[in-house]
Homo-oligomer: A and B are copies of this chain.
Amino acid sequence: MPKIVDHEKRKIKIAEATWKVIVDEGLEQATVRKIAKVADMSVGSLRHYFSTQSELFAFSMKLVSDRVRNRAENKYYDGPPLESMQELLSEFLPIDEERRIEMEVWMVFSSKTLVDPNLKALSQEVYDEMHRASKMVVEGLIESGLASQALNKSLEIERLYALIDGMALHGILHPDRFSVEKMQTTLKYHLKALCN
């Protein structure tokens, strides 16, 4: 009987170490050596789980989207509609340390997406998912009677989604200029604006 390890858990541990190195030192410093060290294992061992760095990065990026999606899906939305929507959309913003790390890692990988075909597919998938979430919110507002039926639904979806990602970007790159509070207030403001 071989040594028993939970393969998936190990991979997640490594991916989280990867996040840490990326956040602390940047993607270029996310070398196999450093990641192994942070994950507290040997380079050779790490290679059991990810045979190439590319694989490791793909998994690490995917873990971000999995985490965010899971949180968004498993949350219990029971308040008033506007508040529920605010809560849902906040899942995609760097409103606390946990989310900030994920968003930052996501952004760094997104950047890499431009020239790494390996990561492109996931980026597209998530774009589509986010787009659907944005659609759900806009349609939810209209159907619940909060928002006017006269809204241009399609454009509102694009606007909302771009707003979310723009705020996430500002929140990550300029936390001192664009605080979490501003983020939340601006989001609430936008949702309310849709309801006039």
Contacts and interface: CB of A to CB of B under 8 A. Distances in A.
Contacts of A189: 152, 155, 159
Contacts of A167: 158, 162, 166
28 contacts: A26-B116, A104-B114, A107-B111, A108-B111, A111-B111, A113-B173, A123-B173, A123-B174, A124-B174, A124-B177, A127-B170, A127-B173, A152-B189, A155-B185, A158-B170, A158-B178, A159-B163, A159-B186, A159-B190, A161-B170, A162-B170, A162-B186, A163-B163, A164-B166, A165-B169, A165-B170, A166-B167, A166-B169
Contacts of A73: none
Interface string A124-163: 1001100100000000000000000000100100110111
A193 interface: yes
A6 to B, nearest CB: 20
Q: Count this chain's copies in the assembly.
A: 4
A28 interface: yes
A128 B24 CA distance: 25
A166 B173 contact: no
Closest 8 pairs between A and B when the two form their complex, measured CB to CB: A166-B166, A162-B166, A26-B115, A111-B111, A165-B166, A162-B167, A155-B189, A158-B186
A186 B108 CA distance: 26
A159 B186 CA distance: 6
Interface of A: 2, 23-29, 44, 104, 107-108, 110-116, 123-124, 127-128, 131, 152, 155, 158-159, 161-167, 169-170, 172-174, 177-178, 182, 185-186, 189-190, 193, 196
A127 B177 contact: yes
Contact of A182 (B111, B158, B182): B158
- A29, A165, A178 — most chain B CB neighbours (10 Å): A165
